[in-house]
Amino acid sequence: MIAVIDYGVGNLFSVEKALAAVGAEVRVTNDAETLRQAERIVLPGVGAFGDCMKNLEATGLIPVIRQEVAAGKPLLGICVGLQILFEGSEESPEAAGLGILRGKVRRIRAKGLKIPHMGWNSLCVRGKGGEEFLRGLSEEPYVYFVHSYHAVPEDQNVIAAVTEYGETLTAAVRKDNVWAAQFHPEKSGDVGLRILKNFMEGIQ
């Protein structure tokens, strides 16, 4: 069973539907015991970094998420769900992130281009983590983005994919059992479904 964390943000129905389409048993939940029983966890997120952290804190699930990740349970962050895995963001300087990954989230500096970065853009794989993330896909597959901020990991080796939009942006990260996508797999057609399938099958 895959638990999709419901903390009042994110397009939960689309994520649930996409996971079900690749054969997952999905449960949308804000129950700690359900997270503990799940084989994998998905952390969605849209909106502002600070609002997401405030909502997540209100559920009381932050210690559970940290415990389950530390124990090796696979977790997939999506969009702001990727960003809050890091220590903090320029968007909400007063808000601390989960700190599961070291680094900060900063505003996209794409001179002359519209912010947010919105629409379809290609991915470029980085390292072994990226090869697993994008397994079974053509080179530079296209996925759907909506974001004004992107993660800058302290350890560049955790970057699994990048995209170009006025500068090189972190598009996906992978460290051990932690996977995360700045783009929206659930809105990225067959490519996104394949990425979700890779997450389901990537760690047994």
Q: Would you call 184 a catalytic residue per the annotation?
A: yes
Q: Would you call 124 a catalytic residue per the annotation?
A: no
Q: Which of 176, 185, 181 is nearest to 100 (CA)?
A: 176
Between the CA of residue 170 and those of 52, 70, 151, 203, what are the distances in Å? 20, 23, 6, 22
Gyration radius (Cα) of the chain, Å: 15
Evaluate whether 6 touches 31 at the Cβ level (below 8 Å).
no
Catalytic residue among 16, 68, 91, 186: 186
Evaluate whether 49 touches 98 at the Cβ level (below 8 Å).
no
Q: Which of 49, 40, 37, 67 is nearest to 9 (CA)?
A: 49
Q: Which residue has 């783009």 as its token pair?
A: 183
Catalytic residue among 16, 68, 79, 150: 79
Q: Would you call 79 a catalytic residue per the annotation?
A: yes
Between the CA of residue 175 and those of 36, 40, 70, 198, what are the distances in Å? 20, 15, 12, 15
The C-alpha atoms of residue 24 and residue 112 are separated, in whole angstroms, by: 42
Which are the catalytic amino acids? 79, 184, 186
